[in-house]
Amino acid sequence: MDKSEVAPSTLFAVASVLEGCCFINGSPQNTFVPGVIELANINKVHIAGDDFKSGQTKVKSVIVDFLVSAGIKPTSIVSYNHLGNNDGLNLSAPQQFRSKEISKSGVIDDMVAANAVLYRSGEKPDHSVVIKYVPYVGDSKRAMDEYSSELMLGGRNTIVMHNTCEDSLLAAPIILDLVILAELCQRIQFKVDGEKAFHGFNSVLSVLSYLCKAPLVPASTPVVNALFRQRACIENIFRACLGLAPVNHMLLEHKHVREYVAAPPVDRLLSEHQEVLKSEEAPDDVASASHCLESFASRSPQTVLSSSSS
């Protein structure tokens, strides 16, 4: 093997696994080569990644999920960034940029593949990602996106977004969340129907996909990039730890037909009041009530419905 091809991050990952310490890869480079994943499985150590999802990519996963779910077909997505911190300097190298381009571009793949009505097999939107190093702007990253989509009857739709953000301040809380979630996941043991023994999560912690651009998943596992589905996974796992049912948003208890006590029909009320009027001493308020009921009964059903809803 050509030793120059072994990334420094891969050496850190191997050292971490051998020490029994969970390793989370926050960069886009190819850190988790097959040998590292195999080593993690053998040592039963958790690994997670890749590439922190903080700003532009997180918004992209929401926008594309919304468009595709609404039956609007994204046909072109162009993303431009420029920044001046060390991240921008590193990405000015062609090899580093290529790995970032892959992680940013792949975020829409599963959402597009999930809609066979909009996209034929193998069809994808044109997707271009540009990143430039501009030292003057420092950590204040600029991100611009253009989403072009097809509507019904040959219509076109374009969404343009501009975002200015402090790159490191967006990444710092994600690092904290990943460390806390990874530590909690290492404590959890569970079993499914038919299993006798409890076991922990797979060494590849795909549950942390919510916070990563290019989610690392176990072999033969589908990759999920849709942001709300990723978050629901985390939420429902921790609800299960508390013995709570998963949140499915159906709310069927509020959507079924309820039985109500029916009000007496108008003609019955009118008959009762007429009987009162036949008595010798019918008070004035009863006569007035009877007049109101007669007036009410003479209205058309449409008028009654309209007055009830107004």
- What is the distance between the alpha carbons of residues 52 and 215, in angstroms, rounded to a whole number? 10
Query: Which residues are 164's β-sheet partners?
Result: 142
- Tell me which of 53, 104, 141, 167 is the catalytic residue: 141
141 is catalytic: yes
Q: Annotated catalytic, 255? A: no
Select which of 100, 104, 145, 167 is catalytic. 100
CA-closest candidate to residue 46, choices 233, 174, 207? 207
Residue length of the chain: 310
Tell me how crowded residue 138 is: count the other CB atoms within 10 A of its CB: 14
44 is catalytic: no
Which one from 51, 65, 87, 167 is the annotated catalytic residue?
A: 51
Instruction: Tell me which of 58, 60, 104, 213 is the catalytic residue.
Output: 213
Measured distance CA(168)–CA(189) in Å, rounded: 34
- The DSSP bridge pattern shows strands 140-150 and 73-83 to be antiparallel
Q: Please give the backbone phi and psi of residue 248, each rounded to the nearest 5 degrees, phi first.
A: -120, -5
Distance between CA atoms of residues 40 and 21, nearest Å: 10
CB count within 10 Å of CB 189 equals 10
Helix H, strand E, coil C: the string for 190-224 is ECCCCCCCCECCCCECHHHHHHECCCCCCCCCCCC
- 201's CB contacts (< 8 A; 6+ apart) are 46, 185, 188, 207
Per the rule left: phi > 0, alpha: psi between -120 and 50, beta: everything else, 248 is alpha
Enzyme catalytic residues: 51, 100, 141, 213
